[in-house]
Copies of this chain bind each other. A is one copy, B any other.
Amino acid sequence: MATHPVTEFISPSAWALVEDKFSPFAKETLAKLVDFVQTEVVPAQKAYHEVIPTDPSKRWTTANPVIKDLKRKARKLGLWNLFGVPLTNLEYAVMAEVMGRTGTLASEATNCSAPDTGNMEVLARYGSPEQQKKWLIPLLNGEIRSAFAMTEYGTASSDATNVSTSIRVEGDEIVINGHKWWISGAGDVRCAFHIVVGKSDPTNPNKHLQQSAILVPANTPGVKVIRNMHVFGYDDAPEGHAEIVYTNVRVPVSNVIAGWGRGFEILQGRLGPGRIHHCMRAIGIAQGALDIMIQRVTNPDRKTFGKALYEHGTIIADIARSRAELDGARLLVLSAAHQIDKVKAKGAFKDIGMAKFIVPTVALGVVDRAMQSHGAEGLSQDTTLAKSWSWMRVLRIADGPDEVHIQQIGKEELKRAPALHRRTAETKEREAKIDAQWKTAL
């Protein structure tokens, strides 16, 4: 019994365009999710943040009871590991927008949050039975969390082959030495393991075979979180973005994932659909910001110079643009998600990449206008807007900065050139004939 129609959350026309591609199961799940998010997660946000200790000594060591309770409820409703159940990328994309309404909270409540989902995929596809039993099962049960340790301090890491953390074998052990940062979730008290990517075969002539991915329990001696990185002024507790030094960290050789030298392959495999999820959550966040803005500018208590806010200057135009840009961006992501379903992530490379660089900028624009309509309050801790903006800003860098994607898409698009040159040559030939014919006729 859905009390909140889906079209209150996502644009009715986008929904109309994709609805017939949803299975009955997906529709039912979506309806449940919408209700759960609206009835349980949205109103729990305040409590969730209030229970995080501000005292630095407790901030990173206290588990958050609010999220634990939400997880229990979600699981009971069957809203669990949605990324794992048989949903298409398109179906999941729409759900990711709904979850995005609460930033990451609904994702975590339904055990669908990064980097865990990506790590589950890696372990499901590449993990040994032992690895799966020990790490995948508790992850799927939401009992532990995990981290993916790729980005390195002092390395230009938007080029993954630059990774320099040393991974070498000594007897039946792997020894890891390196310095990572921006390892999301590694600061969380519940983080049980890291997947560490490093250079295991630096002299391999194929530079895509020089890397390996290793399972490292978070409490292994030599693993040291030295601080949490801030994003603007936020430390993003309780997950955080840890800076970690790995000093002579030793794990059994059985902890290598997929096999020696397959780190780059694992890395690549994780990126496609994950980008779509980020994008759709971003759409959800921005749509939520637009909704907040609409409420603010129609608030009868907020008159200035004798007029409601929406009657001033460019506010109405800002709202119209926000809506239109958001609707266009949403369709772009849904189209990419559907393309993944049709021709796999590799075939949808261009569509994913376009969504990746378009969506954060659109979302930033929408959230920025919403902030502006709130005055200073919009930049403060009293709305979700400033935090949302900071997250959208991260998305222009995470999983590769805009510039890298833009270059890749541009180059991909240039590959159409030979076909276009051919078609033009044909046209020119035919044009000459037609031309000659008319010159004779007239």
Contacts and interface: CB of A to CB of B under 8 A. Distances in A.
B328 A8 contact: no
Contacts of A55: 56
A241 B375 CA distance: 14
A208 interface: no
Interface string A405-442: 11101110110110111011001101101110110011
A231 B427 CA distance: 25
Contacts of A403: 312-315, 317, 372
Interface stretch (A111-119, A123-131, A334-342): A334-342
B410 A316 contact: yes
A76 B314 CA distance: 50
A344 interface: no
A1 interface: no
A305 to B, nearest CB: 5
A47 B56 CA distance: 21
The A contact surface, by secondary structure, is helix
Contact of A313 (B316, B376, B386): B316
B376 A182 contact: yes
Interface stretch (A218-226, A261-269, A294-302): A294-302
B413 A398 contact: no
A65 interface: yes
A390 B397 contact: no
Contacts of A50: 435, 438
A306 to B, nearest CB: 8
Contact of A406 (B320, B336, B378, B423): B320
A381 interface: yes
A323 interface: yes
B316 A324 contact: no
Interface string A162-181: 10000000000000000001
A43 B423 CA distance: 11
Contacts of A327: 332, 335, 351, 354
Interface string A4-21: 000010001110111011
Interface stretch (A153-161, A197-205, A247-255, A274-282): A153-161
B397 A298 contact: no
A309 to B, nearest CB: 8
A304 B410 contact: no
A75 interface: no
A119 to B, nearest CB: 20
A424 B320 CA distance: 22
Interface string A22-46: 0000000000000000110011111
A43 B431 contact: yes
Contacts of A375: 156-158, 397, 401
Nearest to A421: B295
Most buried by B among A38, A66, A328: A328
A403 B396 CA distance: 24
A319 interface: yes
Contact of A298 (B159, B297, B319, B414): B414
A346 interface: no
Contact of A413 (B320, B351, B407, B419): B320
Interface of A: 8, 12-14, 16-18, 20-21, 38-39, 42-47, 50-51, 54-56, 65-66, 151, 154, 156-159, 162, 181-182, 229-235, 241, 291, 294-295, 297-298, 301-305, 309-310, 312-321, 323-325, 327-329, 331-332, 334-336, 338-339, 342, 348, 350-351, 354, 357-358, 371-372, 375-376, 378-382, 386-387, 389-390, 393-394, 396-398, 401-407, 409-411, 413-414, 416-417, 419-421, 423-424, 427-428, 430-431, 433-435, 437-438, 441-442
Q: What are the 7 A-B residue pairs with the smallest beta carbon separation, nearest first?
A: A233-B233, A316-B410, A233-B234, A331-B331, A320-B410, A43-B430, A159-B304
9 contacts: A233-B390, A314-B314, A316-B407, A319-B413, A320-B405, A323-B410, A324-B332, A327-B335, A331-B331
Given A331-B332, A372-B402, 12 more contacts: A8-B419, A13-B351, A43-B428, A47-B435, A50-B438, A66-B438, A231-B376, A233-B386, A294-B420, A310-B414, A316-B407, A328-B332
